Amino acid sequence: MPGNGLQLIASDAESVAFEFGIPLSRVDEVFRGRLRNGGESLGLLDAFDVAVDWIDFSDSAPWPVTADGLGSSIERACWDDRVNAAGQWFGSPIGMPSPGSPNFLNDCPPDTPEMIVISEFLYHAASDTEDESLYEFIKLQNISDQVVDLGGWAIAGNAFYLFADQTLLPAGGHVTVAVSPDQLAGEFNFGKTLLSKPLIGTLSNGGGEIALIRQDGRLTDLVCYDDDFPWPSLADGMEGHPKLGYSLRRNCDMESGELPGNWVAVEDPTPHVPNPEWDCGLLNGPQSITLSPVKVVASATPVISVQWPSAARLDTIQNVIIEYFVDDHETENETIAKLVMRPDIDARGAELREQYAVTLPAFSANSVVRYRIRLQLEGGLNILSPSPERDAFEWHAYFVDPEVSTNQPNQYNLFLSSANWRRLHSWTNAGRVSGSQPNPAWNNEVPATFVSLGQVFDVTVRHQGSRWNRRGGSNISFDCPSHQNGSAQVRSWRVRFPSYRNWDGLDIIHLQKQSGWPQRISFKMFELAGVPSPRTSWSDLRINGCNFNRDAFQIERPGKDLVGRWYDEVGDLFKSQGYTGDEGPWSWGDARLIRGTRNRFSESERYEYTFNRKTLGWKNQPEDGKPDIVEPMIEALHAARGRGRQALRQWLSENFDVDQTLRYICTINYVGTFDDMFQNHFLYRKAEDNKWCMLPWDMDNTLGGAFGQWNANPFRGAEERRVGNVGNRSGWWNRIKDSFFIAYEQEFLSMFHQLNNTVHSPENLRPVIEAIAAEGGRSGNVNSLMNHIQRRHGYLNSFIEPRLSPPLLALSLDAGNIVLQWPEGRTDFNLEASASLFGPWRSVSEGQNVRQDTPTSYTVLPNQAQSFFRLSR
């Protein structure tokens, strides 16, 4: 290597040369292995294996963080007498590594970080009439006495922003970046402090990360926020500012942005002005509150500890008091008791002023104990936790576990007053429609307390189910408070969690009265087919301290949480909740044309009731007088059907995700179509390409049930006047499914056959079924279900294969070998070879010159005896 020369070593010489415009001849070597994304040790040895240089690089401070996925390299930018020193290394400008150029090394200057901090941000606006993300912003503030050029700086985390060159921030000044600068500018007078370029992405509502990174790739400020205690939960969409809700504003400029107590919820956000003042007392909220033991039982006297940051001004504390009571859901204004909390003592007998503790008395099983911390300071100031200035809830709480065993994977305790339980029955007794108008109380909810694994949630609940099933259920003996004396009707429940405290990442779950067998298997089959489907489980539900439904089917309510797991962006989700005729504003939910005004509801309103919007509710509601997007889609579908098969096929290809819709139809027609003809399925328009697809709901009577027979016709849902009897329930049919049968019959059969012989094959399903059965003690049900699946598998193959077009055999070369493959799942064909086009043909089997890679793929060494290949049955 010549003096001042460079040598470039790459994992893939051709890719590096192409990407960075370097002559391939200058990429000297190729190394084996790879560099770990999170960091590792990297050493340079001389010819005698003596270490000449080494580093232990990382993707966290003090190393440059932009090299971990943001498009920067790590470059040595200075030199001093240290080895393995992070201060010698900078991150390249984002997206601009320079492997083809030498580095110019100077002596390392002292690190003098610019004093720029994240001073305020808003991650969940309160608006329910507009896209809430349009009001999200991040404000930065210069706390130094120097002008700082933010050019090349970046904001990373859930959202991304790269500052342009010459973005000058004066001493004491601020700058704001926003998801929609135009939207935010309509609410505040910014002058020149709002940058016109929008943030890329949005801030997560459930908690996330905001990282401020200098132009050299070093992290200069970081906020890892959450939407629940000890972070201010008011900022998670609670009502404050009429449109923006609450923002989070920094208290102390010199303390870490990662301290929850360094942030306060602001009812009137101030993205347009600097923070008015800094308060470094850090006593506005505790850093943590802990309960010991984590699981409290009736014999336990739990210890509650509260801790403040070590940087807080603790010398002003005069007293710490805990107030508590046992929540009685049948009464209000329970008696509140008080105890003084004492500082913890360290091993030397000294008081730990930042940590206080108290022991509470034992309480009876099934008690929900609520408590709050009151901090008395000099001058009479009282600070509460929970605080009305920070928290969306009034009391912390813990549960006294009754130690009731269960064989279900989940056990829940639900508490609600008997008066509210009676209200739920009264509201639903009239049915979904009263006279010709919707029952206004049909979906009313009441407050309740939900407990899972000792964690207490303040929720709202109602009964769940269709207009046929919501009011039904068997009666059981019940000794706890309920809607009637001495007994209770086992209905399905819908539990809604607050935005700041979801359950396991879900905002709504259903606890259905059905057992869920084999419904859970049916939903799993959609997931295996690549169709978005809800999370399911089993649970043991206890209400007000008594056993209620020890075998409840737990299912996620399809909405933004489900969609967000499967797609990068949440699109438009609608539930078909039609009727077998016309009822109030509801009509058939089978994608037929809805015509005329009925019961004083317009056509558009009838479409919107029948296909109820479940995501992005700010876009449209039946009361706003505007048609939603399902109506024009169905109208256009029927227009395309009227123009013939080719026109219909073209329209479907332009407006539907054909592959995913076929996967849905194949799977629902495998497990059994009960009432998806007129209700109980979802229509979803993807945000990425505005194409529609279908998602599943309500797997009653599937996999051997009333309409899930082993020999159910694969074309169920087709118009029987066109295709003959396919076993439709009452002759009902679905216009979207029938359209795909018309336009994509061969693709439908091919997809059905592929799924039946891959992810839905008996061999693939057995371990899935066994695992799900084991969760709920249903292993004894596996064999009977597998018998059904084996018969269904054979029937479908015998039905589909004679109707399938021959598959296409593809031939390619790989390093001199011949690779032959045909569509996965088409095991009804075998590969044959011949030395002549005219035969004789012989079956290709694995041997010395042949390797079978998959059931439908072979790798073959070329030879004269196998010059021609074909597929045969």
Q: How far is CA 284 from CA 387, 673, 724, in A?
A: 9, 57, 73
Q: Which of 800, 627, 651 is nearest to 736 (CA)?
A: 651
Residue 531 has pLDDT above 80, yes or no: yes
Mean pLDDT, residues 255-265 taken together: 92
How many Cβ atoms sit within 10 Å of the Cβ of residue 755? 23
Residue 794 has pLDDT above 80, yes or no: yes
- pLDDT, tens digit, for every residue of 120-156? 999 999 987 889 999 999 999 999 999 999 999 999 9
Alpha carbon distance 385, 290 (integer Å): 13
The three-class DSSP label of residue 101 is coil
Task: State both tokens at 65.
Answer: 């963080």
Contact 461, 439 (CB under 8 A): no
Alpha carbon distance 666, 528 (integer Å): 12
Residue 109 has pLDDT above 80, yes or no: no
pLDDT for 449 equals: 99
Instruction: Look at the alpha carbons of 827, 833, 836, 841 in this order and tell me if their dihedral is positive or negative.
Output: negative
Mean pLDDT, residues 4-32 taken together: 85
The CA-to-CA distance between both ends of the chain, in Å, stands at 64
The three-class DSSP label of residue 52 is strand
Residue 8 phi/psi, 5° resolution? Answer: -110, 125
CA atoms within 13 A of residue 401's CA, in its CB half-sphere: 16
Contact 491, 462 (CB under 8 A): no
Q: Which of 566, 443, 431, 562 is nearest to 509 (CA)?
A: 562
Residues 6+ apart with CB under 8 A from 749: 714, 800, 803, 804
Give strand pairing partners of 456. 451
Percent of the chain whose pLDDT exceeds 90: 71
Query: What is the DSSP secondary structure assignment for residue 260, as one 8-state letter?
Result: G
Give the pLDDT band of residue 112 (cuts 50, 70, 90).
low
Alpha carbon distance 81, 88 (integer Å): 10
Give the pLDDT band of residue 619 (cuts 50, 70, 90).
very high
- pLDDT, tens digit, for every residue of 465-498? 999 999 999 999 999 999 999 999 999 999 999 9
Does this model's pTM top 0.85? My answer is yes
Alpha carbon distance 381, 83 (integer Å): 53
Alpha carbon distance 574, 311 (integer Å): 51
Contact 121, 137 (CB under 8 A): yes
Alpha carbon distance 581, 544 (integer Å): 40
Alpha carbon distance 683, 696 (integer Å): 9
Alpha carbon distance 189, 601 (integer Å): 43
Give the pLDDT band of residue 54 (cuts 50, 70, 90).
confident
Residues 6+ apart with CB under 8 A from 252: 262, 278, 279, 280, 281, 282
Residue whose structure tokens are 């008791």: 337
- pLDDT, tens digit, for every residue of 718-754? 999 999 999 999 999 999 999 999 999 999 999 999 9
Contact 398, 296 (CB under 8 A): yes
Alpha carbon distance 275, 531 (integer Å): 48
How many Cβ atoms sit within 10 Å of the Cβ of residue 566? 16
pLDDT for 791 equals: 98
The mean-pLDDT minimum among 497-501, 574-578, 702-706, 762-766 falls in: 702-706
Alpha carbon distance 481, 483 (integer Å): 7
Alpha carbon distance 228, 207 (integer Å): 8
Percent of the chain whose pLDDT exceeds 70: 99
- pLDDT, tens digit, for every residue of 358-403? 999 999 999 999 999 998 887 777 878 999 989 999 999 999 999 9
Q: Which of 409, 515, 411, 492 is nearest to 781 (CA)?
A: 515
Give the pLDDT band of residue 159 (cuts 50, 70, 90).
very high
Residue 32 has pLDDT above 70, yes or no: yes
**Mean pLDDT: which of 24-28, 784-788, 838-842 is highest?**
784-788
Give the pLDDT band of residue 806 (cuts 50, 70, 90).
confident
Task: State both tokens at 474.
Answer: 């068997």
Q: Which of 496, 499, 507 is nearest to 561 (CA)?
A: 507
pLDDT for 111 equals: 66
Residue 114 has pLDDT above 70, yes or no: no
Give the pLDDT band of residue 337 (cuts 50, 70, 90).
very high
More confident residue, 287 or 80: 287
Question: Average model confidence (pLDDT) for the chain?
Answer: 92
Query: What is the DSSP secondary structure assignment for residue 731, as one 8-state letter?
Result: G
Give the pLDDT band of residue 838 (cuts 50, 70, 90).
confident
- pLDDT, tens digit, for every residue of 293-317? 999 999 999 999 999 887 677 777 8
Tell me which H or E stretch contains 223: strand 219-226
